């Protein structure tokens, strides 16, 4: 009986270890590539259109996408990779010239 319990416990520990190692890998799917930080967008009052001629493309915080038309990122909205270059938020700061 004691050996049977030890074997079961070892199997359980192996299974839990494998599950813990697999959890980060579950996030590596197509949805993980494009992400939005909804809480930060809400706090910064982000919108997909410019406001009074101010847009993300002219902001110091904006991180441009791979092409001129692709979505970019933002230094303020950490982890958000779907920021429009024509968007706007209250953290807008003029890009230095």
Q: Output DSSP code: residue 42.
A: H
Lowest-pLDDT range of 14-23, 44-53, 79-88: 14-23
pTM above 0.85, yes or no: no
Q: Which CATH number fits domain 34-97: 3.20.20.80, 4.10.490.10, 1.10.287.130, 3.20.20.120?
A: 4.10.490.10
| Extents of the domains making up the chain | 1-30, 34-97
CB 25 within 8 A of CB 65: no
Cβ-based neighbour number of residue 8 at 10 Å = 10
Question: Does residue 85 surpass a pLDDT of 90?
Answer: yes
Give the confidence band of 3 by pLDDT, cuts at 50, 70, 90.
low
- State the first-to-last Cα distance of the chain, in angstroms, to the nearest integer: 77
């Amino acid at each position: 009986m004691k050996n049977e319990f030890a074997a079961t416990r070892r199997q359980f520990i192996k299974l839990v270890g494998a599950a813990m190692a697999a959890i980060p890998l579950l996030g590596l799917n197509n949805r993980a590539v494009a992400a939005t930080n909804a809480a930060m967008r809400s706090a910064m009052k982000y919108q997909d259109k410019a406001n009074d001629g101010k847009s993300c493309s002219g902001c110091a915080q904006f991180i441009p996408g791979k092409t001129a038309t692709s979505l970019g990122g933002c230094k303020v909205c950490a982890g958000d990779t779907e920021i429009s270059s024509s968007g706007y938020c209250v953290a807008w700061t003029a890009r230095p010239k």
